[in-house]
Structure 1
């Protein structure tokens, strides 16, 4: 049956796959002969994933991988300088190109290239043929040059982001429909491919010109009508060069091609062909996975034990293609066996370490065992605290036989784990370091694969070990839930049988080492080595010390507050009932919805699947601009949350051994670099409200000591003034003015000496709202005013401070072009949804605008925290908490005056010498018997 209606052709941009594979993996060589195979390994993994993902659903009926035959094409005859400035191929990549063709054929996918033409021309010709035959086409590529083909049954799919590209997405990128893309490209040129274009005309201007004049030839013919002299001259003086540029960027949709569409029909891989190729490449893990998918036995690997990494600093023996064999992991039960492992660790100088415990709470968890891995595939587990059976009510059952005494194992491991010459690698190393620190071992130096992933991939994926293993190693780790069970029958890890524990625990260390060998050389390629080495890794021991120190909380104060909040909630309930005209359960969303929308007939009532009205915070915030009752409910909910989350729950978080509360900080909890606090979360306590201040009264200093708070003053506004270059804001900060009053004066033409609190409050809300890309909709909610008035405030704000709007537009444009934004210190925050359309588009843009500002502020305080321990080493003081822009210390009473100027200096100069802000950072300090007094 000939290709026609109902058929679906996939055209895969082979070069894009190759280069993505090459840059995603460290340099790999085949162990048997040293042949470079890193790009081939990644390419084969992509092909296998492609085959697996397209077995059902909208699967293609026909497919081909398209390659460039050589660098020289017919375009070089038109313009000899075409692509002349492209860099030479890396030496280790060149020999891998023919292997990728072999790989494509091995997977039984058509492989096409043509001398004198680019892969894009082949894709264009096949796409046009398929479209003319009545079929549909998906081009797997994000190459902008292919976007001229989109429409009438042809679409693109960006395989990196799994994002479809249709006519709307093309218009969003170029400002014109697909059939006019080549006109825009001809005008704007392309520095990468050395397409000259018109000097001084960028893509935006080109799109505006084509929109106005219709097409390129009409524009060139009427260029004399253009009023701007430079633009007119650029078109008139370079008309022939522009026409040449159009010939360069236009794809040949009718090139001579012997391949027929029918020959591209999809067929499953033939086991012998694909497994023979993978075996020859020595891709053991992938060979096993493909064999399992094809339901055949994997052939024996005769030539070698796996590919090894070469040329990657500190990672000479990585084996990402080595299969995971849990049966090969060793259970270390005595000192002699452990000493052999220690000798191997000392020989290599690198070891992945993982602990198994009875709890996720590091301050209460008991050590159950330790895993070690010195080489991919070579790992062990040292059981130390496994217990027999289910134990009695007090968990006092006897230890399982065949385990070393904990003290003996730790005595042997301590010198290695504390040896400066041996690198200890972990996944979330802060947890393991705290477990071992409680047992008298100070683990150093360290590397952390979770933080490496965060430095490279923030905003793209999660950084947990299971997700990283699946995404980057193609391996799903053993799940913990079947071992521990769930619900009432769940057990802790000390009840897991040792033979099952060995496979699970040692695999974790094995995965961690493999991830490290993969990620370590990639840090440099991703240009985030400085971020990792100065902002991520050195913060781990600092946070571990803070978390272990904890902070004292007064239980009696919390109890009194809980009662006071209950009384205030009762008062609010009475007010709400009066406004409603009847009593109802304020905590019931269903009853509240009936009062608001059925009885009071307020606008905006929408019922969900359950038939109940939606009464979330966003709904109530909108209604609060029209009526008092929703605002009172919001106040009641805030008190209810404070009571349950803090005054009640904080009492349960007091550690019985230390009498203190020990929060845990996540370094990867926010994409911007801000820390997240959990168990308990101490970063969501309202800072300025009366209730928030009262909760802080419960955080106290022991007798003879004081709590000292140092807080950056309006750091994000200062960073905004710097990055957006706002003279009025800079001057206000230099002169120490009230920045919110100054903004109000500028916006509302009110002299400072006539400023009212209400006007200042509105300006403050706008100042901070703009940092978060706030809309009139959001500001109306914040101020509880009509949306039209709020939008008027924002419009006036941008009129007074045009640089801020410029910064916002430039930041969004950069994010759209690059897929990420950056802080002043080089932290990358990826923005995968920035080009999306629909409800999420606005959020993605606001996040991109805010990220460089919030991220830079987060980087500043991270730098201060890293430097702080050394600066205050001689003072009887310890850093306890970080809450966004604030650091809290516990200090001896007679050392307060010594600590404050030293800590303030560290914080105010934290940017130096990496970044020089044009606005000085200032830090406000306070101290008291409790946190509320200190802040």
Structure 2
């Protein structure tokens, strides 16, 4: 941009809210909330420092909103009407943020009844007429109307050429010019206002045309040139929903065009020349930092080291994100300033005296990373082979406890006797004064608990990673949360693998037989890497808004879930064996019938042979071959054939279900019974489902059919010990209740408040009458809409034509417009930010939301619609689980055991005599689990049943 003056206009209001939501609550020495002030100060300091080092501005000012009223409110009284009041603890920080700006000796501009965007537009135009270039520091889409436009008229006297405008998005460290606007909106900046007028804005409550999203709006403006032309063209369009909306809501679009137009002639309270950027005088800034207790920033100022530590979201060292799909960038962290991993530095601790020295150092450090090595992956059957500790980079050790051959004559290396080592470690691992950091700590907690040590308090790097980056991708590759993957991604380090140490196949040896030098390298490295990951990832929680979900939901859940796994649940082996025999007999009968229809024998479980029978031999239409050259025979194909009347497809579907249930449950459960406890101990994953739901394996209890007779029979095999009963507590229609709250649907909220049958209420609204058929349809539609179902998907579920299904969807949105607004709002956020968010702040990333592949994009959109609802449901039941045992203990019911969590249900075991007392506690904890963090507009309902088996209680 040459040597001409260059003005930077900072959208300060955006900085404030980003700072507030990305940092934990803080108070200054006087007790005033200052979390947002600290974040704002850090961000502003960093911006000034970065621009000073680069080819930065000659002039700079910060623009703030002074009041909520502007001329737009006079034009449209509903403008920004839906915006909630600022959080209580943010309000007293607004004047301090102004003080912070002035402490940098920067102009802080705000005018009553004038929005910051209009002030920015006015200053930008005035500067370009003086021949200055302008950069707007913001990511606000409304301000993108100004980008790329260069002043070519009304130039000030003596100015030969006007200046131009671009934008700097500091969140992505990306410059936004005319080309980037065209890429985002499909139209140049001068037509962005027309696109915004059509699509509206749910945040500012600009009406637009209901049902017209960004893509449709961009297409209409690109085709017709202007908003007026697009609206005029509606009369000649083919009959469609879009035509109806354009004609019916034309006035809304024209009003919206006025509302989104930036006012460029506001009075300028500070002259442009007074914005000249000079070196920041340290005195006022030092006084401000000292007053509010920002000691770390004050030290940097005193040391003259420039900006504070760079946060991950604003680090200029990160690669440019222009053109990157939302969510792909952000979880590759700048390498920490640690030495490279040096396995030769690790110590093998073989004497009690050396162990005690490590323990003393750990107490002094107040934080230690811990890992266990065992004889197998089953934490309920394995032997503890060793423990590793880390106190810093390359400051790690391995304590062998069970090394040596299984043969009684095998030579055993020198190592501390296990009981003595555990006795020495117990005070450290149970001390409230020392934080223990694990990766997938649930496993280690169970191993150590079985050895008599109840570890606390605990941090878990796997959970931290999940709460930061669930669903996020890096360089187009899925971002998992295993230690090796995180070490490679964040530390640039490749860990030793178990196979490298123990071998594979017939030559594989147990870890207890690995030589101590190799075992030390492998085990201590795990602790070292865990320590490094913790130091890298934990600070990101505060910066990226993950603190609340980690500290209040997921972190305290780790020991709770570990305890459930250890306790397990009893299953009736004899009953399982009988079911296996029945399923085997039934699958044999079905197989015979399938062979009869095919008029030949073949392997029903072979997709290749089944495809040949269906499409080559029997001649059914629609067979499609994949890359392997064989026909697809997945469930959707068989369901389509079944709908077309193919009896063989019905039989194969039934055969598959029985065969799967037999292998997955009735056979597998018998093998899963722990010989020491006589119970089944399922393993829960806290990071297995992207939305935050728990998932289970070995066995997987999530996939037992819920409402079928076969599912009930399997649940009957989960039983209570003699003298006890099982209690099942199930949230009633929690996702629909949350949808009513989150989408603000008055009729649904009223129905739940009055205890009505929600599906009957929907049937009445949709079809005008309630009977068995309309209620069933309403139930299907209620849940399908929340999963973003398409017209074809709904048509398949209801057995109707696609046009009829679309009519039902349209009617649903007409009756419950809040649901459609919620969907539009959610998709807008995900496309803009790359993630959705639950009521508790859990982020789920959707990196393929902008994919050019239609199937990928639509799949992401469907998942994004449901994620905030399903994720909030998961958060609520997790909060209930964390609170449950303390509440039961307080009621004198500590002996009540929480055994299972499946979907929206918790299962307990307890003496029958305690059912009435426990029922009250359990119900109260579950219905109030959202509070006080979230106050719902609808009551949560819980259905509770009891019986000697899970099936009887369910």
TM-score, normalization by structure 2: 0.70
Q: How many residues align?
A: 731
1:71-220 matches, within 5 Å, as: 71-72=57-58, 146=176, 148-149=178-179, 170=183, 173-174=184-185, 176-177=186-187, 180-184=188-192, 210-211=221-222, 214=225
SS where residue 888 of structure 1 aligns? strand
1:98-497 matches, within 5 Å, as: 146=176, 148-149=178-179, 170=183, 173-174=184-185, 176-177=186-187, 180-184=188-192, 210-211=221-222, 214=225, 228=251, 231=254, 241=264, 320-388=337-405, 391=406, 398=410, 400-460=412-472, 461-497=479-515
The 8 Å contact of residues 208 and 256 in structure 2, kept in 1 or not, is answered as no
The 8 Å contact of residues 22 and 544 in structure 2, kept in 1 or not, is answered as no
- The 3 A distance-change label for structure 1 pair 635 and 783 is farther
Gaps of 5+ in 1: 1-14, 27-37, 44-64, 95-114, 126-138, 151-164, 190-196, 220-225, 246-282, 284-317
The 8 Å contact of residues 208 and 252 in structure 2, kept in 1 or not, is answered as no
**CA–CA separation in structure 2 for the residues paired with 1:357 and 1:700:** 31
SS where residue 740 of structure 1 aligns? helix
SS where residue 677 of structure 2 aligns? coil
The 8 Å contact of residues 821 and 829 in structure 1, kept in 2 or not, is answered as yes
**CA–CA separation in structure 2 for the residues paired with 1:924 and 1:608:** 46
- The 3 A distance-change label for structure 1 pair 472 and 144 is closer
Which of these residues, 55, 60, 78, is aligned with residue 69 of structure 1? 55
Which of these residues, 883, 886, 889, is aligned with residue 867 of structure 1? 883
1:155 is aligned to: none
The 8 Å contact of residues 325 and 377 in structure 1, kept in 2 or not, is answered as yes
SS where residue 445 of structure 2 aligns? helix
The 8 Å contact of residues 385 and 399 in structure 1, kept in 2 or not, is answered as no
1:813 aligns with 2:838: no
- The 3 A distance-change label for structure 1 pair 556 and 143 is same
- The 3 A distance-change label for structure 1 pair 83 and 624 is same
1:606 is aligned to: 624
User: Which segment is superposed worse, 412-421 or 81-90?
Assistant: 81-90
The alpha-carbon deviation at position 433 of structure 1 amounts to 0.9
**CA–CA separation in structure 2 for the residues paired with 1:910 and 1:358:** 39
- The 3 A distance-change label for structure 1 pair 601 and 685 is same
SS where residue 241 of structure 1 aligns? coil
**CA–CA separation in structure 2 for the residues paired with 1:706 and 1:83:** 62
The alpha-carbon deviation at position 625 of structure 1 amounts to 2.2
**CA–CA separation in structure 2 for the residues paired with 1:124 and 1:520:** 40
The alpha-carbon deviation at position 844 of structure 1 amounts to 0.3
Which of these residues, 579, 594, 602, is aligned with residue 561 of structure 1? 579
**CA–CA separation in structure 2 for the residues paired with 1:782 and 1:200:** 33
Which of these residues, 539, 543, 546, is aligned with residue 561 of structure 2? 543
1:833 aligns with 2:848: yes
The alpha-carbon deviation at position 666 of structure 1 amounts to 0.8
The 8 Å contact of residues 557 and 698 in structure 1, kept in 2 or not, is answered as yes
2:594 is aligned to: 576
**CA–CA separation in structure 2 for the residues paired with 1:819 and 1:767:** 26
Gaps of 5+ in 2: 1-9, 25-41, 67-96, 107-131, 138-143, 150-168, 198-203, 231-248, 269-308, 310-334, 473-478
The alpha-carbon deviation at position 539 of structure 1 amounts to 0.6
The alpha-carbon deviation at position 440 of structure 1 amounts to 0.4
**CA–CA separation in structure 1 for the residues paired with 2:256 and 2:518:** 77
The 8 Å contact of residues 440 and 460 in structure 2, kept in 1 or not, is answered as yes
SS where residue 264 of structure 2 aligns? helix
- The 3 A distance-change label for structure 1 pair 490 and 618 is farther
The alpha-carbon deviation at position 780 of structure 1 amounts to 4.0
* Residues 187-241 of structure 1, C-alpha deviations (whole Å, 9 max, x = no match): 979xxxxxxx9x999996995895476269999xxxxxx9749947975997982
The 8 Å contact of residues 338 and 393 in structure 2, kept in 1 or not, is answered as no
**CA–CA separation in structure 2 for the residues paired with 1:928 and 1:82:** 65
1:62 is aligned to: none
The alpha-carbon deviation at position 814 of structure 1 amounts to 1.1
**CA–CA separation in structure 2 for the residues paired with 1:784 and 1:566:** 32
The alpha-carbon deviation at position 798 of structure 1 amounts to 2.8
The 8 Å contact of residues 68 and 117 in structure 1, kept in 2 or not, is answered as no
- The 3 A distance-change label for structure 1 pair 657 and 784 is farther
The alpha-carbon deviation at position 497 of structure 1 amounts to 1.1
The 8 Å contact of residues 186 and 242 in structure 1, kept in 2 or not, is answered as no
SS where residue 614 of structure 1 aligns? coil
* Residues 132-159 of structure 1, C-alpha deviations (whole Å, 9 max, x = no match): xxxxxxx999678636336xxxxxxxxx
The alpha-carbon deviation at position 488 of structure 1 amounts to 2.6
Which of these residues, 516, 519, 529, is aligned with residue 511 of structure 1? 529
The 8 Å contact of residues 567 and 681 in structure 2, kept in 1 or not, is answered as yes
- The 3 A distance-change label for structure 1 pair 425 and 776 is same
**CA–CA separation in structure 2 for the residues paired with 1:422 and 1:802:** 52
**CA–CA separation in structure 1 for the residues paired with 2:504 and 2:52:** 50
**CA–CA separation in structure 2 for the residues paired with 1:489 and 1:760:** 62
* Residues 447-493 of structure 1, C-alpha deviations (whole Å, 9 max, x = no match): 11111111111111211111111111221212221112222322221
2:113 is aligned to: none
**CA–CA separation in structure 2 for the residues paired with 1:592 and 1:567:** 21
- The 3 A distance-change label for structure 1 pair 238 and 867 is closer
The alpha-carbon deviation at position 739 of structure 1 amounts to 2.2
1:853 aligns with 2:869: yes
**CA–CA separation in structure 1 for the residues paired with 2:587 and 2:706:** 20
SS where residue 844 of structure 1 aligns? helix
SS where residue 673 of structure 2 aligns? coil
* Residues 41-71 of structure 1, C-alpha deviations (whole Å, 9 max, x = no match): x99xxxxxxxxxxxxxxxxxxxxx9985123
* Residues 682-734 of structure 1, C-alpha deviations (whole Å, 9 max, x = no match): 11111111111000111111111111111111111111111112233223222
1:730 aligns with 2:749: yes
The 8 Å contact of residues 621 and 782 in structure 1, kept in 2 or not, is answered as no
The 8 Å contact of residues 195 and 221 in structure 2, kept in 1 or not, is answered as no
User: Which segment is superposed worse, 487-496 or 772-781?
Assistant: 772-781
1:587-606 matches, within 5 Å, as: 587-606=605-624
1:534 is aligned to: 552
**CA–CA separation in structure 2 for the residues paired with 1:707 and 1:242:** 72
- The 3 A distance-change label for structure 1 pair 236 and 821 is closer
- The 3 A distance-change label for structure 1 pair 623 and 377 is same
**CA–CA separation in structure 2 for the residues paired with 1:243 and 1:650:** 74
* Residues 750-798 of structure 1, C-alpha deviations (whole Å, 9 max, x = no match): 2x3xx12x44333222222222112233334444555455444434333
**CA–CA separation in structure 2 for the residues paired with 1:629 and 1:797:** 36
1:276 is aligned to: none
The alpha-carbon deviation at position 445 of structure 1 amounts to 0.7
SS where residue 624 of structure 1 aligns? helix
1:690 aligns with 2:720: no
- The 3 A distance-change label for structure 1 pair 769 and 201 is closer
**CA–CA separation in structure 1 for the residues paired with 2:934 and 2:220:** 40
1:194 is aligned to: none
**CA–CA separation in structure 2 for the residues paired with 1:233 and 1:542:** 51
1:626 aligns with 2:631: no
* Residues 882-926 of structure 1, C-alpha deviations (whole Å, 9 max, x = no match): 001111011112112221111111111111111111111111111
The 8 Å contact of residues 25 and 518 in structure 1, kept in 2 or not, is answered as no
1:671 aligns with 2:690: yes
**CA–CA separation in structure 1 for the residues paired with 2:103 and 2:604:** 70
SS where residue 176 of structure 2 aligns? helix
**CA–CA separation in structure 1 for the residues paired with 2:224 and 2:431:** 71
The 8 Å contact of residues 23 and 545 in structure 2, kept in 1 or not, is answered as no
TM-score, normalization by structure 1: 0.71
- The 3 A distance-change label for structure 1 pair 789 and 689 is farther
- The 3 A distance-change label for structure 1 pair 399 and 236 is closer
User: Which segment is superposed worse, 774-783 or 607-616?
Assistant: 774-783
